Amino acid sequence: QRHLISAADLTRDDAVLILDTAEEMSRVADRPIKKLPTLRGRTVVNLFFEDSTRTRISFEAAEKRLSADVINFSAKGSSVSKGESLKDTAQTLEAMGVDAVVIRHGASGAPYRLANSGWIDAAVINAGDGTHQHPTQALLDAFTLRRRLVGRDAGLGQDLSGKRITVVGDVLHSRVARSNVDLLHTLGAEVTLVAPPTLVPVGVESWPCAVSYDLDSTLPKCDAVMMLRVQRERMNAAFFPTEREYSRRYGLDGDRMARLPEHAIVMHPGPMVRGMEITAEVADSGRCTAVEQVANGVSIRMAVLYLLLGGNEPAVTHSRTEEK
């Protein structure tokens, strides 16, 4: 594939290849010099029209670890505020000779438009578009799940067959939930969405997952629970759930965490709203993988950039010492 727009575009073999390549890439973090020459001479632009901490920084770290030249573009402070269109912005970047565009945009479908409009030749990677997709988030979540539930070495070449993942919260506005449902299903996992009825999207019956409104009965049956943030910025204020009511029914606190099987992990894509969907006690516990997910995001983004741009170069050249 030339672009990465949606987790739904990935086959099982595509996804396993990305996860296995990310395992290779993760070794670079253990080296004294955390860099590979793979993308030397290639230029990647990070085109962010929406705020981001984790995705923007980890793409930049991944690009720099692969020795790419990096251009960071934020809509704030650019000519977008003067009314410049996505097309003109993209063509301005194209004129500077970029090889890949990592784009985050508030409009669902913006990365697809960029990849298929003929405006640019560069590879397009979706870093989150509206409520639609966030494919590298789903990949880093699958990577974290495989490492924790199958094993770092035992997981190579494996998918997530039979693993039970519960995704909880504001599914309606969540590109993370949509991407994870698509990818986890492709990888053989069983996904259950748990949400208040008002935060369940219309048409969810056609998604490859189960839906429940009862968190407490779901927790004892899952291998991982993924908590979602309530995205107030995408809601009309009249529909804000109250923090107290929401956290009472759908928040994860210490008592609820104790209902999980002993081996089960707690995931969160970030940013977390402590006290709403997750308590500080759970967020800071050893079962919560939120920080580990961020670290894994760098390896996943290195793998995606390498597979889209790296050609036939070996992903990682191992030194003799490492091979022993």
Is 175 annotated as contributing to ligand binding?
Answer: yes
How many Cβ atoms from other residues are within 10 Å of residue 51's Cβ? 14
18 versus 316: smaller Cβ distance to ligand CP: 18
Is 173 annotated as contributing to ligand binding?
Answer: no
The 90-129 site mask, x for binding ligand CP (CB under 6 A), equals --------------------------------------x-
Is 231 annotated as contributing to ligand binding?
Answer: no
97 versus 271: smaller Cβ distance to ligand CP: 271
Residue 20 to residues 10, 222, 276, 291, Cα–Cα distance (Å): 14, 24, 35, 21
Q: How far is the CB of 222 from ligand CP (least distance, A)?
A: 21
Residue 169 engages ligand CP in binding (rule: CB under 6 A): no
59 versus 250: smaller Cβ distance to ligand CP: 59
Q: Which of residues 35-54 bind ligand CP (CB under 6 A)?
A: 52-54
Q: How far is the CB of 7 from ligand CP (least distance, A)?
A: 14
| CA dist., res. 261 & res. 5, Å (int) | 35
By CB under 6 A, name the one of 38, 137, 144, 218 that touches ligand CP: 137
Q: How far is the CB of 148 from ligand CP (least distance, A)?
A: 18
54 versus 259: smaller Cβ distance to ligand CP: 54
Cα-Cα-Cα-Cα dihedral sign, residues 81, 85, 88, 91: positive
Q: How far is the CB of 214 from ligand CP (least distance, A)?
A: 26
193 versus 316: smaller Cβ distance to ligand CP: 193
126 versus 192: smaller Cβ distance to ligand CP: 126
Considering CB under 6 A, how many residues would be counted as binding ligand CP?
Answer: 9
Nearest-CA neighbor of 276 among 212, 199, 217?
199
Is 65 annotated as contributing to ligand binding?
Answer: no
102 versus 195: smaller Cβ distance to ligand CP: 102
Q: How far is the CB of 136 from ligand CP (least distance, A)?
A: 9
Q: How far is the CB of 193 from ligand CP (least distance, A)?
A: 18
**Per residue, what are the HEC states of the chain?**
CCCECCHHHCCHHHHHHHHHHHHHHHHHHHCCCCCCCCCCCCEEEEEECCCCCHHHHHHHHHHHHCCCEEEEEECCCCHHHHCCCHHHHHHHHHCCCCCEEEEEECCCCHHHHHHHCCCCCCEEEEEEECCCECHHHHHHHHHHHHHHHCCCCCCCCCCCCCCEEEEECCCCCCHHHHHHHHHHHHCCCEEEEECCHHHCCCCHHHCCCEEECCHHHHHHHCCEEEECCCCHHHCCHHHCCCHHHHHHHHCECHHHHCCCCCCCEEECCCCCCECCCECHHHHCCCCECHHHHHHHHHHHHHHHHHHHHCCCCCCCCCCHHHHC
Could you tell me if 225 and 264 are in contact, meaning their C-beta atoms sit under 8 angstroms apart? Answer: yes
Is 134 annotated as contributing to ligand binding?
Answer: yes
Q: Which of residues 255-294 bind ligand CP (CB under 6 A)?
A: 269-271
Q: How far is the CB of 83 from ligand CP (least distance, A)?
A: 25
Is 40 annotated as contributing to ligand binding?
Answer: no
56 versus 65: smaller Cβ distance to ligand CP: 56
- The footprint of ligand CP (CB under 6 A) covers 52-55, 128, 137, 269-271
Binding-site sequence positions for L-aspartate = 82, 175, 229
